[in-house]
């Protein structure tokens, strides 16, 4: 596995490659990231994993300064997974001048759900991903379903900019107790970690009720939020949406997704569960 820190080195290494697969990450890797590398290997070669903590997607008061930087350990995991190239630039390499040109994500995606609580976040995500696409020129790129809204933002960006890149969606990887794997799980205290699977359980209860025919969506989501709040969580949202668009579920919906974001102590956790519907609602 080769490790590059500059765009010039990366472009030289990829010159002439037409089947590259990209796995963008912010590092502090876990088994979920490794699964994306394994998915990417099935669809392209060489596999490039980027490790870059993107300042553009962090808001005021968020954890940019404290986000774990674990490059050596990350490279060990990527090498064991069969990654071919790691691109680990610093901020001046990605943003050599002030980034006054940015991707503006449509309000319907940028300012809803997580975007309502993290203004500008998805513009920052889309901008850095577009930069990585330009640098790597991949044929495919892999993203995790845990960040479901992010996945839809990237898919829509690729569609609207006519980018010749296939977007691969990797299933959410979970701990034995159901907690979605996340780099931020390490922020949880032992007592918070023991309580953290409650978010997944509440989403699973919504999914089970919908599959059983319950159509009182607002009541289901409201009850889940109340259960979490009574257990000491600070809930941003619990919602049921169309999985293809993130619009509210309607008569045309055939696949829904239950999504949630909530804080346990100082740690913000997100999760989602897709719900296959056999017939339109």
Beta strands at 255-264 and 267-276: parallel, antiparallel or unpaired:
antiparallel
3-state class (DSSP) for residue 267 = strand
What lies within 8 Å, CB to CB, of 272 at 6+ separation is 145, 146, 148, 172, 203, 257, 258, 259, 260
Determine if the peptide bond prior to 255 is cis (ω within 30°). Answer: no
Contact 132, 86 (CB under 8 A): no
Q: At what angle do helices 217-230 and 198-211 cross, to 10 degrees?
A: 160
Q: Which of 206, 186, 208 is nearest to 196 (CA)?
A: 186
106 phi, psi to nearest 5 deg: -55, 145
User: Is 33 tagged catalytic?
Assistant: yes
Query: Which residue among 5, 30, 33, 227 is the active-site one?
Result: 33
DSSP characters over 49-105: EEE---GGG--TTSSTTTS---HHHHHHHHHHHT--EEE---HHHH-SS--------
Indicate which residues carry an active-site annotation: 33
């Amino acid at each position: 596995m080769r490790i590059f820190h500059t765009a010039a080195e990366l472009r030289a290494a990829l010159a002439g490659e037409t089947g590259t697969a990209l796995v963008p990450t912010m590092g502090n890797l876990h088994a979920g990231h490794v699964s994306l590398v394994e998915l990417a290997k099935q669809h392209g070669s060489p596999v490039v994993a980027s490790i870059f903590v993107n300042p553009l997607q962090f808001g005021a008061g968020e954890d940019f300064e404290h986000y774990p930087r674990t490059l050596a350990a990350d490279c060990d995991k990527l090498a064991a997974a069969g990654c071919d190239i790691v691109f680990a630039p610093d901020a001046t390499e990605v943003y050599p001048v002030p980034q006054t040109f940015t991707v503006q994500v449509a309000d319907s995606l940028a300012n809803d759900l997580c975007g309502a609580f993290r203004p500008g976040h998805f513009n920052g995500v889309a901008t850095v991903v577009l930069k990585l696409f330009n640098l790597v020129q991949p044929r495919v790129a892999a993203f995790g379903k845990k960040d479901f809204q992010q996945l839809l933002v990237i898919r829509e960006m690729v569609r609207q900019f006519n980018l010749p890149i296939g977007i691969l969606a990797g299933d959410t990887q979970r701990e034995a107790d159901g907690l979605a794997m996340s780099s931020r799980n390490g922020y949880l205290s032992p007592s918070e970690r023991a309580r953290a699977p409650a978010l997944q359980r509440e989403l699973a209860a919504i999914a089970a009720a919908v599959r059983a025919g319950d159509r009182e969506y607002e009541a289901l989501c409201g009850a889940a939020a109340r259960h979490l709040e009574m257990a000491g969580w600070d809930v941003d949202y619990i919602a049921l949406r169309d999985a293809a668009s993130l619009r509210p579920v309607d008569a045309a919906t055939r696949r829904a997704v239950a999504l949630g974001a909530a804080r346990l102590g100082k740690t913000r956790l997100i999760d989602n569960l897709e719900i296959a519907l056999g017939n339109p609602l």
